[in-house]
Amino acid sequence: MNTVVLKFGGTSVGNVDRIKKVCKIISFYKKNKKRVLVVSSAMSGATNDLVKISKLISHNFDKAEYDTLVSTGEQTSCALIAGRLNHLGIKSRSWMSWQIPVETEGAHSAARISRINVRELNNFLKQGGVPVVTGFQGINNKNRITTIGRSGSDATAIMLAKFIKADECIIYTDVDGVYTTDPRQYKNAKKIKKIFYDEMLEMASLGSKVMQPTSVQDAKLNNINIQVKSSFRTNTGTLITGLKKSFSDKIITGISSTKNDAKITIVGVKDRPGIAASIFKPLSKNLINVDMVVQNISQNGKETDLTFTIKSEDFKKTEKLIKKNKKITYKKISFDKNVSKVSIIGVGMITSPGITYRMFRALASKKINILVISTSEIKISVLVSRENVKKAIAVLHKEFNLD
Ligand code: ADP
Ligand code: ASP
Ligand code: MG
C-alpha cells in the first residue's frame, strides 16, 4: 500500500472552513487506499502573534523558552485536524514532535532534524490511522523543544517522508505550484511543471517563499520528490525533483526577489591584507550572515571602499559592531535599507553564454541601476533599489521568454 505525506501550510488551515476542506483532501487519499501521514503548520498568523508576544515580554527572550512558545501554534492546528478527521469517522490522532520524538541538532530556532523515531507512527499507519504531526518543532539532546527555522514545516514533512520511506510527499499551500516568479507580485508568472532541486534551492534561498530552503536541501540529499499543490484547487502542481540527463529547454527557470536586504558601504578603509577579515569577524561571531560583497579597486593603493549586504533584521546590530570595531579605520559609513536582490535562476545557464549581458541590458533598458552583483553557476543576482523590483521582474520575465 502506498504511503503519502501531506503537508498543509498556515493558510490552508487558517480557519474552521479551511480545516474542514483539508480533512476532505485527506479523506480523498484514504478512500484511494493510501496510508496517509499529515504534517501541519500553525494556523496562519498564529506563529507571528506568538513572536510578537515574546517581544512584549522581553527583547532578550530566553532561546529555549522562545522555541517552546512559538511552536505551540502547531499543537492547535494538529489537534483540530485530528478532531475533524475523527468526526468524519477517520481514525486519527495528533503527535507533538517530542512525543515521537523528532530529534534535532543545532541552535534553538535554527535546528535541523537529525532523526525521527517512526515506530509508533508506523504502527498507527498500519492500523489504518492518520497521524497528524506538528511541523516546525523537535527536541534536542537536552530534551528541550527546538524549532527548525520559520516555514520549517516543509522540512518536517520531507524528513518524515524520508524516515517512514513514503512513496510521495505533497506540500499543500495557497498557490497551485511553483511559478516562474511570485504570482502575487507579477500577474504573468507561469506555473512550472517540473523544477530541479538545485534551481528550487536557489529560488527558495533568494526569496521565493513557496518552499523553505532547508527543506529543499533535505529533499535533495535524500532524493525525495516533492509535489507542490494547492489546497484550494484540484489542478496539478509542480514536481521538484533531481536533475535528469535531459536538460531543461529553458535557459532561465525562475526569478526571485527579496524584501529584507540591507546594504552597508564602508568608505576609505585601509587597503591591506586582513582588513576584510577584521570587518567580518565580529559579524560572523554574532551569527550575522553577510551575503553579497564587493570591494572597489583602490585608487591610491592605500584606501578602498567595501560594500556588503545583510538581512534587514541584523541592521542595528551590524551598525553597532562596525562602529565599535577598533581594528578598522575608515572615512565614512553609509547604510541603505531600501534595497532588494533580484535573481534569475536556471540550470540552462551552464550551457548558454551571454546571460549576464542579456540581464544587464534588459535592466538598463528600464534605467534600473545595479548596485551589487553576485553569481553562481546557475544564478545571477543583482542588488537594486527596492522601488525598482517590480519593474526589474517584469523586464527580466519578458527578456527570458517566461511570460
Ligand atoms: P504555506 O503557509 O502554505 O507554507 P507560504 O506563504 O510559505 O505558504 O508560501 C506560499 C506563498 O509563496 C504564495 O502565497 C506566494 O505568494 C509565495 N511565492 C513566492 N514566490 C513564489 C513562486 N515562485 N511560486 C509560487 N509561490 C511563490
Ligand atoms: N508555523 C511556523 C511559521 O510560521 C512554521 C511553518 O509555517 O511552517 O514559521
Ligand atoms: Mg511555507
- In this structure, the residue with its CA closest to atom 1 of ligand 1 is 9
Tens digits of per-residue pLDDT, 338-392?
999 999 999 989 888 899 999 999 999 999 999 999 999 999 999 999 999 999 9
- In this structure, the residue with its CA closest to atom 5 of ligand 2 is 151
The total number of residues written for the chain in this structure: 403
Q: Which domain holds residue 124?
A: 3-174
Give the pLDDT of residue 354: 92
Same domain assignment for residues 157 and 262: no
83, HSE (Cβ side, Cα atoms, 13 Å)? 8
Give the pLDDT of residue 246: 55
Ligand 2 center to 96 CA (angstroms): 15
CATH of the domain at 304: 3.30.2130.10
Give the pLDDT of residue 247: 55
269 within domain boundaries: yes
Instruction: Give the predicted TM-score (pTM) of the model.
Output: 0.92
Same domain assignment for residues 17 and 163: yes
Indicate the DSSP class of residue 33: T
Using 50 as the pLDDT threshold, list the residues of the chain that sit under it.
none
Residues 6+ apart with CB under 8 A from 389: 257, 340, 342
Do 29 and 167 contact (CB within 8 A), yes or no? no
167 touches ligand 1 (CB under 6 Å): no
150 touches ligand 2 (CB under 6 Å): yes
254 touches ligand 2 (CB under 6 Å): no
230 within domain boundaries: no
For residue 9, give the ligand 2 atom closest to its CA.
Answer: 7
Number of domains making up the chain = 2
- Choose the residue to mutate in 209, 211, 228, 345 for probing ligand 1, maximizing ligand atoms within 8 Å of C-beta: 209
19-57: buried (b, 16+ CB within 10 Å) or exposed (e) per residue?
bebbbebbbebbeeebbbbbbbbbbbebbeebeeebeee
187 within domain boundaries: no
Give the pLDDT of residue 295: 87
Q: Is-cis flag, bond preceding 101, omega within 30?
A: yes
CATH of the domain at 151: 3.40.1160.10
**63: which 3 cell numbers?**
532561546
User: Among residues 114, 149, 174, which one ends one of the domains?
Assistant: 174
Give the pLDDT of residue 362: 98
Give the pLDDT of residue 300: 76
Cα–Cα distance measured from residue 347 to residue 250, given in angstroms and rounded to the nearest whole number: 9
210 touches ligand 1 (CB under 6 Å): yes
7 within domain boundaries: yes
Cα–Cα distance measured from residue 178 to residue 345, given in angstroms and rounded to the nearest whole number: 13
Ligand 1 center to 182 CA (angstroms): 7
